[in-house]
Amino acid sequence: MNLHLVGCSHRSASVDIRERLAFSRMQTEAALRALRTAYPTVEAVLLSTCNRVELYVAADGAGDLPSHPQLVRFLANFQGLDDRDVLGHMYQYSGADVVRHLFAVASSLDSMVVGEAQILSQVKQAFAVAQEQQLTGPVTHLAFEAANRAAKRVATETDINRRRVSIPSVAVADFAKQLFETFHDKHVLLLGAGEMGEETLRYLRDEGVQQIVILNRNPARAKALAQRVHAEVDTWQQLDARLTWADLVVSITGAPEPVVTAHRFHDIHCRRNQRPLFILDLALPRDFEPAIGQFNNVYLYCIDDLKTACERNRLAREKEWPKAQQIVTEETERFVADVKHRITGPTIRRLKEQAEELKRDELRRLLNKLGDTDARTREEIERSFDRLVNKLLHPPLESLRDEASLGSPTRLLEALRHLFQITD
């Protein structure tokens, strides 16, 4: 398989590197167009999320496939970076290893939060964008279709997707859902603009939250995050007003002292008219004084409150990990076998058809010359012809299957087509 992958993720690169390499939807489209200009014969899919940037490319011939350094250089230069600054943070795969990695990514086995649901839809969206830009082809179509199948198997045959392990996922799914039956009409306030806050917002978006406001002492960071998660931004001076407005607060400011004291919250609480308020305080030191949790209809949780649930879910997930990995292995082997069959199948089929046509012609000619023969004799002659054809075809077909099992049947396919004058 002529497949290459270069990429970086939370496992290989810092947030700074990932941010500098990240592609928006418009940038992805432009990059794919530029790639098509630079390498007209390749198929390509560019996947960019908050935790990874990956470029998948495929080609009919190995000579048409850009090298790993060329692909790294392309990504870096497109974003105005020196490839030498990012090369050490990029992983590189080829052939079946690309497929195995893609299946693990789509199945959420390579995610920061194993089992998170968003990644499969992001993989599908990346393929759809590449399709719109006419960069997909037979290999990428097969690979991404198979990735969807692998992800669905992991989701249905294991409990990986049912057991949350990150603090934000546990907070939303195991705690906030106990308070709120629905989220589409809830007002969400985020204090701070860090990764964990962003992750929590993404979980809330998946639950149907529509109204999000971000407050941060650094307006530029708040605005950048708001663009990524489609939220609004307000000034820090509106903190009290927004706490009155909110139904759910996520706070992770990094402030050295509490942002909201119990004394300050007293007036806010009076203006809320007993409306329930869920506060997820992910900051260390904490942003909300613990005493705020004693106010009526206020549900305040800090990191320590969630650790037990996180650890319980993590241990349960570990039991499912080998099963999920086995599914990825099985689907990778299935894909590789399917690709080999698709590569060699048409030639094998045409060779057999060609041999069958010659056998029929010669058999008919012989039987016509022999004249009247009994059925038993005719049957024996036909079996002899069949055995002869099978014995003649066995060595070349066996050699072709051996080459395919090694992953490099192209040269032998061309030789067989030439020697036996096989036409498409």
Give the pLDDT confidence of 385-411 residue by residue, as tens digits. Answer: 888 888 888 887 777 766 666 656 667
CA distance 45 to 128: 9
* Structural domain ending residue among the three candidates 132, 157, 182: 157
Q: Kindly give, in sequence order, each residue whose CB lies less than 8 Å from that of residue 188, ignoring residues fewer than 6 positions away.
A: 201, 204, 209, 211, 212, 213, 246, 247, 248, 249, 250
Say if residue 64 is exposed, middle or buried (CB neighbours under 10 Å; 0-12, 13-18, 19+).
middle
Residue 336: per-residue pLDDT:
84
- Regarding whether 30 and 146 lie in a shared domain, the answer is yes
CA distance 78 to 81: 7
- Regarding whether 251 and 192 lie in a shared domain, the answer is yes
| 334 part of a folded domain | no
CA distance 240 to 257: 17
- Regarding whether 205 and 144 lie in a shared domain, the answer is no
- Regarding whether 221 and 354 lie in a shared domain, the answer is no
| 378 part of a folded domain | yes
Q: Torsion-angle region of residue 80: left (phi > 0), alpha (psi -120 to 50) or beta?
A: left
- Regarding whether 34 and 138 lie in a shared domain, the answer is yes
CA distances from 255 to 164, 185, 252, 279 (A): 28, 30, 8, 17
> Which residue has tokens 């949780």?
301
- Regarding whether 370 and 247 lie in a shared domain, the answer is no
Residue 311: per-residue pLDDT:
66
- Regarding whether 176 and 153 lie in a shared domain, the answer is no
| Between 311 and 214, residue with greater pLDDT | 214
Distance of CA 353 to the CA centre of its chain: 41
Residue 153: per-residue pLDDT:
93
> Which residue has tokens 């307006």?
219
- Regarding whether 152 and 185 lie in a shared domain, the answer is no
Confirm whether 50 is a catalytic residue: yes
* Structural domain ending residue among the three candidates 157, 175, 199: 157
Domain count, the chain: 3
CA distances from 87 to 15, 18, 97 (A): 15, 12, 19
Distance of CA 374 to the CA centre of its chain: 66
Could you give the percent of the chain with pLDDT greater than 70? 91
Q: What is the pLDDT of residues 348-382, one digit of tens each?
A: 778 788 888 888 888 888 888 888 888 888 888 88
- Regarding whether 134 and 106 lie in a shared domain, the answer is yes
- Regarding whether 147 and 66 lie in a shared domain, the answer is yes
Domain holding 299: CATH number? 3.40.50.720
CA distance 15 to 19: 6
Is the pLDDT at 96 greater than 70, yes or no? yes
Residue 214: per-residue pLDDT:
96
Residue 86: per-residue pLDDT:
92
| 185 part of a folded domain | yes
At 379, which amino acid appears? E
Mean pLDDT of 297-312: 78
- Regarding whether 192 and 149 lie in a shared domain, the answer is no
Residue 282: per-residue pLDDT:
83
Strand 43-48 and strand 52-58: pairing? antiparallel
Residue 165: per-residue pLDDT:
56
Is the pLDDT at 383 greater than 80, yes or no? yes
Q: Which among 8, 50, 302, 310 is annotated as catalytic?
A: 50
Sequence length of the chain is 424
Q: What is the pLDDT of residues 24-82, one digit of tens each?
A: 889 999 999 999 999 999 999 999 987 789 999 998 776 789 999 999 999 999 999 99
Average pLDDT of the chain, as a whole number: 87
Residue 124: per-residue pLDDT:
94
For the record, the structure tokens of 57 come out as 């490319």
Q: Which of these, 75, 85, 69, 72, lies nearest to 22 by C-alpha position?
A: 75
CA distance 237 to 239: 6
Residue 310: per-residue pLDDT:
62
Is the pLDDT at 164 greater than 60, yes or no? no
Range with lowest mean pLDDT among 14-23, 107-116, 266-275: 107-116
CA distance 319 to 313: 10
What range does the domain containing 175 cover? Answer: 167-309
CB 38 within 8 A of CB 74: yes
CA distance 261 to 310: 28
Residue 171: per-residue pLDDT:
80
